[in-house]
Amino acid sequence: MLYFSRWKVTAILGVIVLSLLVLVPNFLSAERLRDSWPGWLPGRQIVLGLDLQGGVYLLYEVDTADYKAKRLKTLENDIRNAMRQDPRIGYTGLGVTGETVQLRIRDADRVADAATRLQGLVNPLNQGLIGGTGVTEFQFEQQADGLLRMTFTDAGLGQRLATVVDQSIEVIRRRVDELGTTEPSIQRQGAERILVEAPGEKDPARLKNIIGQTAQLTFHLVDVNADIAEAQAGRIAPGSLLLESLDDANPRPYVVEEAPLLSGEDLVDAQASFASQTNEPVVSFRLSTGGSRKFASVTTENVGRPFAIVLDNKIISAPVIREPITGGQGQISGSFSVQSANDLAVLLRAGALPARLSVIEERTVGPGLGADSIAAGERASVIGAIAVALFMFAVYGLFGLFANIALIVNIVMIFAVLTLLQATLTLPGIAGIVLTLGMAVDSNVLIYERIREEQRLGRSPINAIDAGFQRAFGTILDANITTLIAAGVLFQLGSGPVKGFAVTLTVGIITTMFTAITFTRLLIAYWVRRRRPTVVPI
Amino acid sequence: MRLLRLFPDDTRIPFMRWRKYSFPFSGILSVLCFVAYLAFGMNTGIDFQGGTLMEIATKSGPANLSEIREKLNNLGLGEVQVQEFGEADTVLIRIVRQEGGDEAQQAVVGKVQAALGTDIDYRRVEVVGPRVSGELAQNGIVGVLLALGAIMVYVWFRFEWQYSVGAVIATLHDIVLTIGLFAVLQLEFNLSTIAAILTIIGYSLNDTVVVYDRIREMRRKYKRMHLVTMLDLAINQTLSRTTLTAATTLIALLSLYIFGGEVIRSFTFAMLFGVVVGTYSSIFIAAPVLIFLDPQLAGDKSAAPEGEEPAAAKTA
């Protein structure tokens, strides 16, 4: 057991040298690393968690109720249009109840015709490559007395929501990228959640504001003849909407036509700029070809009438059309600051979210606390390591020194593995490393105690050391696997910082087993060969 | 050079005799912990309850807690806790979950920021909505049970079922005592506490398994030795290791507790306690429990505790 073949020694030392090499970039500044560190050497640095470098953790959930309501509203409109098609079919009671849109056909003879039209709206789902499995987004139902119903199918809703989440992730990514946030991570979590992590973000409130807005932009004609007081009392003409205004200079509500003239999808670009006359911040936009044509014809027909620019059901401003706008370009003015104009431009460029998102979990760490945590973690680790090392030396003398050298190698390897895996180091992660320091020497303790015992039984030093390593191995394995199981469960269940703890604990256990079983043995074997001791001094 | 010895070699402490005291002691303590849990309840943090937590630092001079408390109470956000956090200028604010869904939780942060003004550095803000907190609590419980189950299977697989039951009893004992401690002292019980409990499970089992390993080895070697004698011997032989490892782990944890900062203090506190309890339970619970569980001694519990006895039916 104490004999090491040459290649084995090389392998053990090689692992240690490699670990050191992987570790070095962590001590270099980013510039030094980029400019003077050879490219063929490992150049990764350890990833610090949000709790150490500061940043924002935001967990969003897609508001499924909001999405369903929107989708059913669209379906209702589609059904209305389908019934109005030539030849028209008379109906009553078209409306949404729960997850169903229903209507009653007046003329019993036309029910079959209406049913055919509705069947055209069930929207077969694309089921990947296999396709055509007969699954549709809506289920069509025909009941007595000409009552027709369209209801969401589970599969349909599921697939739709999956798409909504995907689209939302895309939109969020575009928005966050525009803000210049460094290396944000945006991931799906479960069926209807999105996790946004932005390390180093200085202004969490702005980030939240940018991500959380639906940013649905629409242009509506204002109904100048409508009586606002009547509308506020709830008496509003069908096809019209009462909207509040965001315009501080002119904070009155307007009644507008429900059907939008244009929407955010018709925009191809938006930029923050300044109005040429007033020098106020504005957002100038450019329309797509189709959009410009639509806008040109509407503005030509409605010169002199005001139209409302609406963002998420609030009016930004309601300018009067002074002349036909045919160039496909325009400006949105409102009570903007430079930043809010800029933010709106970002939102318009990135597009609207397909459904409302709500924050269900938020954790923000300021850069100050992060730096403090790093400092505290470093201090605790260094003091802990020195204290453990002194204790080991007091108890085991020379062999304690061996264990301490193994401990240093162990720490190097833990950080090297973390760097290689690009695992995130969190504050509980540092706690995991410090805990490992304490427990790492356990393997050495097990071995040494065993050697002590074997020696008392009258074995020669070499035999005692040999037997000590051999007998202790099984125990070390059993003892560490139980801890590994607990760490594994932690990793599965934990989020963020706790996961970081599980990672370092796991890595620590594995490197500990390596250093205790191979490296310490190598040191001791070397010592035995040099000194030929008659007694093991432990 | 004289080396430090925590225990002399060849200790012969009759640990098994102490089970007369350790079992009732641990039993009563566990019941008390359960009673404390029922009586005081847990001081669950926002992770499991939902709500808002803010760590703030005043930019000029020490924080005026009563002023902050008054400002926040005027907001009508329900129960608000304000306490100093480590330093005189650092304050931890906890606000209960608001009625009315996620939007209402989100509004809290803005209201607090408006009330406290600009002379404040927001070091940490955490908002947990009601649904997430429910899931986190559920995950925590599932995690602890899952870890216990997995370890039980592993010990059963590597040893025998009696050992597996013994290990789980000892570990449950540690968990109950830790939860009791949190209930009595009303320490905040949050996600990191769950992490601490899982680590305690790992540590306590680590300790127990080392003792069991020795017992298994001795059973192979001394087939005719009386179980009580054997358990005593096994514990005595591993005693030095058990205490040494506990000592190094405690040293490392103490360093974390003292120097590691306020954020993880309750986490390390739980672990310090857990290491002590885990070490105790490996010696005084996990090993003696085998006397009741081992088939070798079934029906022979009153046998003389010392000396070798012919083992009746030896199973391999």
Tokens encoding B131 = 């649904």
- The alpha-carbon gap from A384 to the nearest alpha carbon of chain B, in Å, equals 5
Q: How confident is the model at residue B279 (pLDDT cuts 50, 70, 90)?
A: very high
- Scored b (16 or more CB within 10 A) or e, A436-462 reads bbbbbbbbbbbbbbbbbbbbeeebebb
Distance CA B288, CA A392 (A): 30
- pLDDT confidence band for B131 (50 / 70 / 90): confident
User: Which residue intervals of chain A bear CATH 3.30.1360.200?
Assistant: 218-335
State yes or no: pLDDT of B228 exceeds 50.
yes
- Which chain A residues touch B123 with a CB distance below 8 Å? 365-366, 368-369
pTM of the model: 0.80
Residue B25's pLDDT band (boundaries 50, 70, 90)?
A: very high
CA B225 – CA A321 distance, rounded (Å): 103
Q: Which of A164, A162, A169 is nearest to A186 (CA)?
A: A169
pLDDT band at B296 (very low <50, low <70, confident <90, very high): low
* pLDDT score of B310: 41
If one counts every other C-beta atom within 10 angstroms of the C-beta of residue B239, the result is 18
Nearest to B205 among A380, A482, A493 (CB): A482
Write phi, then psi, for A187 (nearest 5 degrees).
Answer: -135, 155
Residue B132 tokens read as: 């997430």
B130 and B50 Cβ atoms separated by less than 8 Å:
yes
pLDDT attached to residue A132: 52
Taking 3-state DSSP, the helix, strand and coil percentages for chain B, each rounded to the nearest 5, stand at: 65, 10, 25
CB of A59 within 8 Å of a chain B CB? The answer is yes
d(CA A366, CA B125): 8
Per-residue pLDDT band for A408 (boundaries 50, 70, 90) equals very high
Token look-up 């899982």 returns B198
Least confident range from A41-50, A107-116, A127-136: namely: A127-136
pLDDT of A383 over the 90 cut:
yes
Token pair, residue A67, equals 């999405």
Assigned CATH topology for domain A65-158: Gyrase A; domain 2 (3.30.1360)
Point out the least confidently predicted range of A103-112, A499-508, B307-316.
B307-316
If one counts every other C-beta atom within 10 angstroms of the C-beta of residue A486, the result is: 31
Tokens of A305: 């009438």
Beta strands in B151-234 (DSSP E): 188-189
Closest-CA distance, A164 to chain B, in angstroms, reads 20
pLDDT digits (tens, 9 = 90+) for A237-251: 777 888 888 776 667
Per residue, the 3-state secondary structure of A104-161, as one string, reads EECCHHHHHHHHHHHHCCCCECCCCCCCCCCCECEEEEECHHHEEEEEECHHHHHHHH
The stretch A479-488 carries a mean pLDDT of 85
Residue A133: predicted pLDDT: 58
Give Cα B117 distance to the centre of its chain.
Answer: 40
Whether A308 and A318 have beta carbons less than 8 Å apart is answered as yes
Give the pLDDT of residue B274. 94
The residue-averaged pLDDT of B102-115 equals: 85
Q: Which CATH class is domain A218-335?
A: alpha beta
**Please, are residues A448 and A538 in contact by the beta-carbon 8 Å criterion?**
yes
Which whole number is the average pLDDT over B219-227?
84
pLDDT band at B301 (very low <50, low <70, confident <90, very high): very low
Write the CB contacts of A221 (distance below 8 Å, at least 6 apart in sequence): A256, A257, A261, A298, A302, A305, A307, A308
SS3 B222: coil
A465's CB contacts (< 8 A; 6+ apart) are A1, A2, A451, A524, A528, A536
Residues 6+ apart with CB under 8 A from A446: A472, A475, A476, A479, B210, B241
C-beta atoms of B206 and A483 within 8 A: yes
Alpha-carbon torsion (B53, B57, B62, B68), positive or negative? negative
Tell me, what's the pLDDT at B253?
A: 93
**Angle (deg, nearest 10), helices A427-456 and A367-396:** 10
pLDDT score at B298: 42
State the sign of the Cα–Cα–Cα–Cα dihedral B219, B221, B224, B230: negative
Q: Which of A381, A445, A490 sits opposite B198 (nearest CB)?
A: A490
Report the pLDDT averaged over residues B94-108: 84
CA angle A423, A429, A432 (to 5 degrees): 125
User: Is the pLDDT reported for residue A104 higher than 60?
Assistant: yes
Q: Which fold has domain B15-43+133-297?
A: Multidrug efflux transporter AcrB transmembrane fold (1.20.1640)
| CA A287 – CA A46 distance, rounded (Å) | 46
**How high does pLDDT run on average in chain A?**
86
Residues in chain B closer than 8 A to A445 (CB atoms): 241, 244-245, 248
Task: Answer whether A232's CB lies under 8 Å from A242's CB.
Answer: yes
Average pLDDT over residues A203-213: 84
pLDDT for A334 equals: 80
Task: Identify the burial level of A71 via C-beta atoms within 10 angstroms of its C-beta, where 0-12 means exposed, 13-18 middle and 19 or more buried.
Answer: buried
Q: Is the peptide bond before A87 cis (omega within 30 degrees of 0)?
A: yes
DSSP notation for B235-282: HHHHHHHHHHHHHHHHHHHHHHHHHS-STTHHHHHHHHHHHHHHHHHI
pLDDT > 70 fraction of chain A, expressed in percent and rounded? 96
Single-letter amino acid code for the residue at B208: T
Least confident of A27-36, A91-100, A348-357: A27-36
pLDDT tens digits along A431-467: 888 888 877 888 899 999 899 889 888 898 889 999 9
pLDDT of residue A402: 93
Domain A6-50+368-531 classification at class level: mainly alpha
Residue A308 has pLDDT above 70, yes or no: yes
Asked if residue A127 has pLDDT above 80, the reply is: no
Residue A107 has pLDDT above 80, yes or no: yes
Evaluate if residue B307 carries a pLDDT over 50. Answer: no
**Partner B contacted by A364 (CB < 8 A):** yes
Higher pLDDT, A12 or B301: A12
Give the residue with greater pLDDT, A296 vs B192: A296
Least confident of A124-138, B73-87, B174-188, B209-223: A124-138
Chain B positions in Cβ-Cβ contact with residue A495 (cut-off 8 Å): 191
Q: Does B305 touch chain A (CB under 8 A)?
A: no
User: Residue B316: which pLDDT band, with cuts at 50, 70 and 90?
Assistant: very low
Q: pLDDT band for A415, please (50, 70, 90 cuts).
A: very high
- Residue B121 near residue A366, CB atoms below 8 Å: yes
Q: Alpha carbon of A211 to those of A179, A186, A346, A512, B235: distances in Å?
A: 10, 11, 11, 44, 60
Residue B312 has pLDDT above 60, yes or no: no
Given strand A262-263, what is the order of strands in its sheet? Answer: A254-257, A240-245, A314-317, A307-311, A217-221, A262-263
The pLDDT assigned to B173 comes to 95
CB nearest A489 (choices: B123, B198, B256)? B198
CATH topology of domain B51-128: Alpha-Beta Plaits (3.30.70)
The CATH 1.20.1640.10 domain(s) of chain A lie at 6-50+368-531
Q: Under an 8 A CB cutoff, do A482 and B155 touch?
A: yes
With CB atoms and an 8 Å threshold, state whether B213 touches A478.
yes
Q: Quick one: tokens of A58?
A: 């935001």
Question: How confident is the model over B184-202, as a mean pLDDT?
Answer: 86
* Residue spans per domain, chain B: 15-43+133-297, 51-128
Q: What percent of chain B has pLDDT over 90?
A: 31
What CA–CA distances, in Å, run from A228 to A202, A244, A257, A311, A317? 43, 11, 13, 20, 17
The upper half-sphere exposure of residue A275, i.e. CA atoms within 13 Å in the direction of its Cβ, equals 15
The closest alpha carbon to A431, from A484, A387, A364, A378, belongs to: A378
pLDDT at B302 over 50: no
For the record, the structure tokens of A531 come out as 């000194």
Q: Please name the member of A381, A486, A497 whose beta carbon is closest to the beta carbon of B201.
A: A486
Is residue A373 less than 8 Å (CB to CB) from chain B?
yes
**Nearest CA-CA distance, residue A468 and chain B, Å:** 13
Q: Is A364 helix (H, G, I), strand (E, B) or coil?
A: strand
For residues A130-149, b (16+ Cβ closer than 10 Å) or e, as one string?
Answer: eeeeebbbbbeeeeeebebb
Greater model confidence, A179 or A455: A455
State whether residue B154 sits within 8 Å of chain A by CB.
yes
Of residues A245, A252, A345, A262, the one with CA closest to residue A299: A262
> Of all helices (H) and strands (E), which one includes residue B117?
none
